Amino acid sequence: MKNERLIIGGVEITKGSSTTINIPLPKHYNTPTNLLLNVICGKKDGPVVFISAAIHGDELNGIEIIRRLKKLSILKKIRGTLILVPVVNVYGMMNLSRYLPDRRDLNRSFPGSSKGSLAARIAKIFFEEVVSKCSLGIDLHTGSIHKINLPQIRTNLDNEYTARLARVFEAPVILHSELRDGSLRAEAQDHGVPILLYEAGEALRFDETSIRIGVKGIVNVLRENGNLPKITKKTKSKTPITTRQNKWIRSSSSGVLRTVRALGETVYKDEVLAYVDDPLNEDSTEIVAPFSGVIIGKSQIPLAQEGDAIFHIANIANLNLAEDKIEYFSENAIEHSEFFELNNEEIIE
C-alpha cells in the first residue's frame, strides 16, 4: 500500500507533511475522548505502516517507545507514511487498567461494531481509520499486571516476510504465535495486514532496556521494509533465539513465592525455578522446569495461588547457544551510544 492519497479521520494526508489528528471516540461518561494520531508522510512513495501502543491501557512501555521514536531526526527521511498511535485504549490508561470501562479486553474485540459494546465501537474506529489503511503494523505490549516479559517479538514464522522483519528487529527472542479470535493481529491478517507484536517489560512500569530495544527494533524494521534508507556503516547484527514451543508453568499450591531463577536465564529440565512456602508451617512445594529453555516471562509478586502462571519458558534445545545469543539483553550491552547514534548514522539516499 503506497501513500498516494490517504485520508484519516477526514483529514487528507499530503506528501512531506507531519500531521496530528484527533479522531472522536465515545465520551468517557461526560468527558470528550479522542484517539490521537501522529502521521508522518514522506515526500517519496513507500509503504504505509502503523505503530500502536496501549491497546491494554496499563501497558506503558510502548507509549515511551513512540515518544522517543518521534524525536529521531532520521524520520525526516521517511518514505511512505508512518502512523503513530501512542495510546489506543485511552480509557484504560486513565484508569490504570488493562481493560475498558465496560470490563472488556480491547484486544479481543476486533473487528468491532458501530452498534456493539464500547470495546467493539473503539475497535471498529481504530481498525477502519488506521489498520485497514496500512500494509504493516507493529503493536507494542508489556506483560500483564505483576508479570514481566523478556523483550520478544511474536509473529507468524511461517510467513517469510514477517519472519524476516522479526529477525531484523533484534529482540532477544522470537516466538511463533498462533492467532487468537478477536485479536487485532487475527483481524489484520484476515485483511492482509501483517503485524509484529513486541512484548517487553511489565504493566504500569517503564523498563529502560525494553524501551531502547523497542526504539532500535522499529527503526531496523522500517529500514528493512523500505520506509527508511539503508545505512552505509555495516554493524554486526544480533541473532535472536527463535522458538515455536513455549509454556507458562503454573503453581500447584498456594503460598509465599520464593523464586530462585531470573528473567532471561537458561534452565534445564527438572531444575528448580521457585518454591511456594506455606507461611504457617514448614511445608514447601517446588516449581520445576518441564523442559530446557529460557525464562521469557515471570511473575513479579511474591505470592502464588494454586493455578497461577509463574514462569513462561521458551523451549530451547541448545542452551549454550541460547546463552550466547541472549548476552546482549543485559543493560550494559544496550549502550547509550547505540541509541543516540540513530540520529547520526550515514545513509544511502
Same domain, 140 and 288: no
Query: Would you say residue 53 lies in a domain?
Result: yes
Domain match, 147 and 195 both = yes
Instruction: Determine the average pLDDT of the residues in 257-266.
Output: 95
What DSSP character marks residue 229? Answer: P
Q: How far apart are CA 334 and CA 126, in angstroms?
A: 34
pLDDT score at 323: 77
Task: Read off the pLDDT of each residue in 239-247 and give the average, rounded to a whole number.
Answer: 92
250 and 236 both lie in a single domain: no
Provide the strand spans (E) within 107-259: 136-141, 147-155, 173-176, 195-202, 241-243, 246-250, 255-259
Residue 182 is assigned to a structural domain of this protein: yes
> What's the pLDDT at 234?
65
Shared domain check, 263 and 118:
no
pLDDT at 333: 47
| 324 shares a domain with 263 | yes
Neighbours of 76 (CB within 10 A): 11
Q: Is the pLDDT of residue 87 over 80?
A: yes
**CATH number of the domain encompassing residue 316:** 2.40.50.100
Phi, psi (degrees; rounded to nearest 5) at 54 = 55, 40
d(CA 21, CA 31): 18
- The CA distance from 151 to 141, in Å, is 10
Contacts of 340 (CB under 8 A, 6+ apart): none
Per residue in 31-53, pLDDT (tens digit) is 999 999 999 999 999 999 999 99
Residue 348 lies in a domain: no
The model's confidence at residue 329, banded by pLDDT at 50, 70 and 90, is: low
C-alpha R_g of the chain: 21
How many angstroms separate the CA atoms of 67 and 80, rounded?
A: 20
**Residue 340 forms part of a structural domain:** no
Chain segment 150-166, per-residue pLDDT in tens: 999 999 999 999 999 99
Contact between 23 and 125 under an 8 Å Cβ cutoff? The reply is yes
Backbone angle region of 182, left / alpha / beta, with phi > 0 → left and psi within -120 to 50 → alpha: left
Q: What pLDDT digit, counting tens, does each position of 131-152 carry? A: 999 999 999 999 999 999 999 9
Quick one: pLDDT at residue 318? 80
Q: Do 59 and 153 fall within a single domain?
A: yes
The residue out of 212, 240, 268 marking a domain boundary is: 240
How far apart CA 203 and CA 147 sit, in angstroms, is 7
Same domain, 17 and 45: yes
110 with 187: CB under 8 angstroms? yes
| Phi, psi dihedral angles at 331 (to 5 degrees) | -60, -35
One-letter identity of residue 205:
R
User: Do 105 and 207 sit in the same domain of this protein?
Assistant: yes
- Is there a domain that residue 345 lies in? no
Which residues does 180 contact at the CB level (< 8 Å), separation at least 6?
108, 186
Whether residue 124 sits in one domain with residue 76: yes
Domain-terminating residue out of 180, 214, 240: 240
* Per-residue confidence (pLDDT) for residue 111, from 0 to 100: 96
Domain, as residue range, for 259: 245-331
| Residue 231 DSSP SS3 | strand
pLDDT beyond 90 at 263: yes
Model confidence pLDDT, tens digit, residues 188-208: 999 999 999 999 999 999 999
Q: Are residues 86 and 199 in the same domain?
A: yes
pLDDT of residue 347: 44
296 pLDDT above the threshold of 50: yes
Quote the CA–CA distance of 268 and 273 in Å, as a whole number. 10
Number of domains in the chain: 2
The model's confidence at residue 326, banded by pLDDT at 50, 70 and 90, is confident
Which amino acid, 231?
I
**Whether residues 206 and 312 fall in one domain:** no
262 and 192 part of one domain: no
Mean pLDDT value across residues 92-115 = 96
The tens digit of pLDDT for each residue in 12-26 reads: 999 999 999 999 999
Of 240, 268, 295, the residue at which a domain comes to its end is 240
